[in-house]
Amino acid sequence: MFLKLFWRCFNISKQVIQINEEIRDKEVRVIGSDGAQLGIMSSSKALAMAEQAGVDLVKIAPQAQPPVCKIMDYGKYRFEQSKREKEARKNQKVVDIKEVRLSLNIDTHDFNTKLNQSQKFIKNGDKVKVSIRFRGREMGHPELGLEVMKRFADACQEFAIVEKPAKLEGRNMLMFMAPKPNR
């Protein structure tokens, strides 16, 4: 009996679920395996009904007054729950942030190369962080960096939107771009 209790102590989706003898409440509302309300009864009587059916008594709503327990096959429930979580993780899209570094005195060909690179990143669904690093005396002319950023944002206008406009943070000027939302 001890091994069965030890084996059956599981967490489903970071939530501790009490089953069978772990349920210590005086009275519980019981739902049958077919979904029918069986009424409010003592937890020992509900556990006896579950054992008679050959399945488990699972507390599904511990915060309710009285707590709600369901008679079901716990192993099957756990399997279906993990299957649902795996499906949700599979459908989840992870957005990466790619960085494109510009310089204050960037030439047109280099500018176009960086533009094509960022277009490729955005087409893949990633966000792009555009940065300019000011070195030495360049710190005295942040307006030139702002001009380069504005030119870059205008060039990217057809395939991306500016999520965060250009802002000077220390020696770096940063701007974030994201793919245009689908319509």
Secondary element (H or E) of residue 106: none
Instruction: Report pLDDT for 14.
Output: 53
Is-contact 47 63, C-beta < 8 A? no
Q: What are the start and end residues of each CATH 3.10.20.80 domain in the chain?
A: 2-86
Q: Check residue 2 and report its DSSP letter.
A: H
At 51, phi and psi to the nearest 5?
-65, -35
CATH topology of domain 97-179: Translation Initiation Factor IF3 (3.30.110)
pLDDT digits (tens, 9 = 90+) for 55-67: 888 888 888 888 8
Rounded Cα gap, residues 109 and 64, in angstroms: 66
* Both structure tokens of 79: 């399997």
2-86 belongs to which homologous superfamily? Translation initiation factor 3 (IF-3), N-terminal domain (3.10.20.80)
Question: In the structure, how many helices (H) and strands (E) does the chain have?
Answer: 5, 10
Rounded Cα gap, residues 159 and 151, in angstroms: 15
Q: What are the start and end residues of each CATH 3.30.110.10 domain in the chain?
A: 97-179
Instruction: Report pLDDT for 146.
Output: 93
pLDDT, the chain, mean: 86
Computed on alpha carbons and rounded to an integer, the radius of gyration of the chain in Å comes to: 30
* Both structure tokens of 62: 């511990």
Q: b/e map of 104-141 (b: 16 or more CB within 10 Å)?
A: bebeeeebeebbeebbebbeeebbbbbbbebeeebeee
Residues of the chain with pLDDT under 70: 1-15, 183
The residue ranges of DSSP E strands in the chain, in sequence order, are 11-12, 15-16, 27-31, 37-42, 56-61, 68-72, 97-102, 127-133, 160-169, 172-179
